[in-house]
Amino acid sequence: MRTKQIIGLILLGCIIASLVVLAGLMAWLGVATGTVVGLLIAAGVIGTYLVVVGPWQRRWGATDEEVHRAMPGDALLRRGAPSTTRAITIDASPEGVFPWLLQIGYGRAGWYSYDWIDNDGNPSIERIDQALQGLAVGDRIEMLPGLGPVVREIVSNHHIVSGGETDSWCLLVEPTPNRQTRLISRWRQDWTKSASTYVWIALSDPGAFLMEQKMLRRIRYLAERDGAAKRGHPKRSRRAEDATDVLGGEDVMTKRRIGRSILDALGGLPLFATAPLYRQWHLRWGATDEEVRSPMPGDEIVPKASFNGTRAITVDAPPDRVWPWIVQMGYRRAGFYTYALLDNAGYESADRILDEYQPPRVGDWMPMAKKINETTAFKVKTFQLDEWLLWEKPDSTWAWKLVPLAEGRTRLLSRLKARYAWESPGSAILTLVLLEFGDFPMMRRVLKGIKFRAERMAQSPARKTSQESPRSVAERRARA
């Protein structure tokens, strides 16, 4: 099963990375000194986690009152059992949040987290599915097949309690005075103390936090998106409110956003470190067999590619609402909608359509770094408005295809092909490292970033009426 394999590969990757670091220290400092330094570093990391990071993440987002209050399900375990309480505020009613909780689970709607880890690579369902709203007492909320807490109590639009003999989980929603919703999650465990238990806690504790943090934030986004759409005036996202307008406004990189960018990049480290271990899977992330085999613009330019990745995602927006987000990409242009610290010098990617890059022109640069040349930037080779686009640079191509689907949706395909030019060993090794370790985590975020922005624009009546399409911009420029 893919989920178990991925988790195993992540753990293996972390172990291998630790051994590589230790081997490097031993080669640099000598066996004895390198071993001592490695142990000191490990002790420092573990100590920092136990004293600082662990206590913080086990109450992430929660107030003192929420941490110490009694919650449904607490009575399932003895008083004093270890507890983790996390919370988030959502700009939606409890009735708008609770349905998302009812359909959580492996094999159901997913976990709204890192689907490549916890849902066999299948994307979480981003709509309320009435067929999944019948969660009942006695049902199992699966984390893996046959493994997960059993539902013990459900109070509609208030809480779900699940658990077993040694653990309990409560998801609770309650309104706030300013018409928002507080979503609180509490895990409690009363496991038998043993060496294997402590090892499991050490391995799973950081990962559980990253997964649940992602889950809470994704539920917030989905509930706010649907609530805003019903009101007819979608809100600007929190990420957009904090973003810097890198081209038209004041350049303000606040400490808060710098810290957020660093944490965001650190959160992606497992993906970067373990990408080569599941290469065969991620090279076709989201794509069907037919999409992987089908021709794409520019395939003939790099016929013997060392790296050939075809990824795909379905966007609930028509092609003309997806297209502009692609063509404006680039370093210090619109960014890449991914890890800001890594791909755009820490500047947040654009959260609006930038007319100055609409439409593209053959020969336009799509820079990947500050210095623009044939090595560090793609050029627009050719395109068909709202249908496909091909970027090219020596030894590599990056193609996009937008396939219209029913109900105003789009199937978005991306294909990156590259040849490792071993006649220049240094350049080839650098390209290999960047693509084999970095491409999938970045490309996955690129596709999801485009999806998020295009869907928000498509759902906004104001944006639909006020935002010029790329075709309109092209026609206006032609007349000028």
Q: What is the pLDDT of residue 253?
A: 41
- In the 8-state DSSP scheme, what is residue 256? H
Looking at the fold, whether 64 and 164 belong to one and the same domain comes out as yes
Distance CA 296, CA 300 (A): 9
User: Which are the contacts of 461, defined by CB distance < 8 A and separation ≥ 6?
Assistant: 232, 233
Q: What is the pLDDT of residue 360?
A: 92
d(CA 279, CA 287): 14
β-strand pairing of 388-393 with 377-384: antiparallel
**Whether residue 407 sits in one domain with residue 306:** yes
Domain range holding 178? Answer: 60-231
pLDDT digits (tens, 9 = 90+) for 72-82: 999 999 888 98
Asked if residue 68 and residue 14 are part of one domain, the reply reads no
Dihedral (CA of 268, 272, 273, 274) sign = positive
Distance (Å, whole) CA 424 – CA 466:
50
Q: What letter would DSSP give residue 165?
A: S
Residues 33 and 117 in one domain: no
pLDDT of residue 200: 67
Q: What is the mean pLDDT of each run of 10 residues along the chain (480 residues)?
A: 63 78 84 89 84 89 94 91 94 95 91 77 85 94 85 96 92 94 94 71 79 92 87 50 35 47 61 79 93 94 93 95 95 86 74 89 90 90 95 94 95 95 84 87 91 86 48 50
Interstrand relation of 307-315 and 365-367 (parallel, antiparallel or unpaired): unpaired
Q: Are residues 306 and 286 in the same domain?
A: yes
How far is 390 from 381, CA to CA, in rounded Å? Answer: 6
Task: Respond yes or no on whether the N-terminal peptide bond of residue 359 is cis (omega within 30° of 0).
Answer: yes
Domain final residue, candidates 11, 31, 57: 57
Query: Tell me, what's the pLDDT at 427?
Result: 80
Shared domain check, 89 and 224: yes
Answer yes or no: is 470 within a domain.
yes
Considering the domain architecture, whether residues 183 and 256 belong to the same structural domain is answered as: no
Identify the domain boundary among 37, 57, 77: 57
**Pair (29, 109) in one structural domain:** no
Extract the tokens encoding 385.
Answer: 């408005």
**Residues 37 and 67 grouped into a single domain:** no
Q: Are residues 303 and 449 in the same domain?
A: yes
Dihedral pair phi/psi, residue 13, rounded to 5°:
-60, -40
Task: Give the DSSP H/E element, type plus range, for residue 263.
Answer: helix 255-267
DSSP-derived secondary structure for 203-226:
HHHHHHHHHHHHHHHHHHHHHHHH
- 377, part of any domain: yes
352 plus 474 within the same structural domain: yes
Q: Is residue 236 part of a domain?
A: no
- Angstrom CA distances, 130 to 127, 140, 158, stand at 9, 18, 18
pLDDT of amino acid 246: 33
CATH number of domain containing 187? 3.30.530.20
Is 238 a member of any domain?
Answer: no
Distances (CA, A) of 127 to 84, 97, 452: 28, 12, 14
- Give the count of domains, the chain: 3
Task: Looking at the structure, tell me whether residues 205 and 295 fall in a common domain.
Answer: no
pLDDT of residue 432: 87
